[in-house]
Amino acid sequence: MKVLVIGGGGREHALVSRLAAEVDPLDLWVTPGNPGTARLARTALAPLDRPDALVELADRERIELTIVGPELPLSVGVADVFARAGRLLVGPSQAAARLETSKAFAKAFMHRHGVPTARFRSCTSADQALATARSAELGYPLVLKADGLAAGKGVVIAGDRQEAEMAIHDAMIAKRFGASGASLVLEECLTGPEVSFFVICDGTRAVPIGTAQDHKRIFNDDRGPNTGGMGAFAPSPLVDAPLADLVMRRIVDPVLRGMAAEGCPYRGFLYVGLMLTATGPQVIEFNVRLGDPEAQVILSLIGEPLLPLLVGAARGNLPDAPVRLEPQVRVGVVIASRGYPESSESDQPITGVEAAEHLDGVSVFHAGTAHRAGQLVTAGGRVLTVVGHGRDYTTAIARAYAAVERISFDGMQYRRDIGKKAISA
């Protein structure tokens, strides 16, 4: 089967690595890919925000199944264009992708279908947002979220009224998030550990494929600004079988039924961001794709071939049986370049990647890397994800960090505490 993976980060390198074991190397394509995927798959170039160009690529190479990594192509309707062209694709339609692309849609949808989430108000004007913030009906701290995609930067937790008013001013009057902030969701602040719960869906059914915990802040002990994710481990020790059942019954199944009932059945990966509060799991956010770096730690724990699951999701007939997960763990450490997350430094020569990959129980996934004159160099904020494998978190952590220490480039930064939470849990 000819397969195309769309995207070029660590998540897509992990997808390509999994598929490389199941697909003939000549039939495995990636766009735009990165130096890591280039060793495993054929590379094509097509702009990710142009569904017409992506479907043209699929036509030209007679691609039989396309898997979308990032949210951008989904947000501009790549799934709709592929469906009209009669081409199989794993990922939701533009309307179904609103679960991620519009926080106001996601919150209202959860409210309509009784899915547990923080109390909220959607505000389409600064006056309305200011009135809500002043009324203190949602309490303080107050969480303010830009409605649209904001690359993880659109959330402010305001400690008091003054901070909330400033955040509203920034988003709605100074337009700091551009059009994404034209509408704001204000919601009550929840507390508890955060876990990511992943399912694959075929329009009517969802099957769990693993859990993970991300590390969103740049510095050790969850300090400093938010990033795309500085590391992750899988599975989350906080999600046992009864809790997973509860999440399926109270959250995932109602979402699948609700989306189908509203005329936009959900197909593809669904990432449910949960907060485990004292009163039970609550949805913090949905993402309509796998996470990055979560994909790098969950995909190799799927204990059966991935391709039949992907085809089933795309065709609307996922196998009935639960997906078997390996009784093992993974710990993934992201190595970023100097300046991340505010900026990033490119063209720094990277050494030691091969030495790291040769260690037992280690995988290295590329993201912001490039080749310049035969030398691997940095080319972005998050550069590599180094994953340690093991039967327990202690082993996987030791393996991941032994491999990280082999790698070197000027300005490299990484957290030293990835996985620590799994042990203390």
**Could you say which of 294, 309, 356, 409 contacts ligand GLY (CB under 6 A)?**
294
Nearer to ligand GLY, 12 or 292 (CB): 292
The nearest distance, CB 270 to ligand GLY, in angstroms, is 12
The nearest distance, CB 227 to ligand GLY, in angstroms, is 9
Q: Does the footprint of ligand AMP cover residue 294 (CB under 6 A)?
A: no
**Could you say which of 80, 147, 202, 285 contacts ligand AMP (CB under 6 A)?**
285
Concatenate the DSSP letters of all residues of 42-69 into one string: EE----TT-HHHHHHHHHHTT-SEEEE-
Q: Which amino acid type is present at position 116? A: P
- Of all residues in the shown chain, the one whose CB is closest to ligand AMP is 285
Cα–Cα nearest to 422, from 190, 225, 192, 193: 193
Q: Does the footprint of ligand AMP cover residue 352 (CB under 6 A)?
A: no
Q: Are 418 and 400 in contact (CB under 8 A)?
A: yes
> What residue 100 binds from ligand GLY, ligand AMP, none (CB within 5 to 8 A, per partner kind)?
none
Q: Does the footprint of ligand AMP cover residue 108 (CB under 6 A)?
A: no
How far is the C-alpha of 66 from the C-alpha of 96, rounded, in Å?
18
**Contact positions with ligand AMP (CB under 6 A) in 30-89:** none
How far is the C-alpha of 302 from the C-alpha of 58, rounded, in Å?
27
Contact region with ligand GLY (CB under 6 A), list: 131-139, 140-148, 176-184, 288-296: 288-296
**Could you say which of 56, 163, 170, 194 contacts ligand AMP (CB under 6 A)?**
194
**Contact positions with ligand GLY (CB under 6 A) in 204-263:** 214, 228-229
Give the count of beta carbons closer than 10 Å to the beta carbon of residue 49: 12
Contact region with ligand AMP (CB under 6 A), list: 186-194, 195-203, 339-347, 391-399: 186-194
Q: What letters, b where the CB count within 10 A reaches 16 and e where it falls short, cover 24-45?
A: eeebbbbbebbbbbeebbbebe
**Could you say which of 143, 158, 270, 299 contacts ligand AMP (CB under 6 A)?**
143
How far is the C-alpha of 389 from the C-alpha of 296, rounded, in Å?
11
Residue whose tokens read 């507390």: 191
The nearest distance, CB 281 to ligand AMP, in angstroms, is 13
> What residue 284 binds from ligand AMP, ligand GLY, none (CB within 5 to 8 A, per partner kind)?
ligand AMP
Structure tokens given for 210: 């693993």
Q: Are 330 and 385 in contact (CB under 8 A)?
A: no
Q: Does the footprint of ligand GLY cover residue 292 (CB under 6 A)?
A: yes
Strands 382-390 and 217-219: unpaired
**Contact positions with ligand AMP (CB under 6 A) in 246-275:** 273
> What residue 287 binds from ligand GLY, ligand AMP, none (CB within 5 to 8 A, per partner kind)?
ligand GLY
> What residue 194 binds from ligand GLY, ligand AMP, none (CB within 5 to 8 A, per partner kind)?
ligand AMP
Structure tokens given for 173: 């009057």
Question: At how many degrees (to 10) do helices 126-135 and 161-168 cross?
Answer: 170
Element (H, E) at 74: helix 71-75
How far is the C-alpha of 385 from the C-alpha of 149, rounded, in Å?
24
Task: Tell whether the torsion through CA atoms of 1, 269, 416 and 238 is positive or negative.
Answer: negative
Tell me the sheet residues that pair with 121.
Answer: 186
Give me the residues that bind ligand AMP (CB under 6 A), please: 118, 143, 145, 152, 155, 187, 189-190, 194, 216, 273, 284-285
Residues that bind ligand GLY (CB under 6 A): 214, 228-229, 287, 291-292, 294
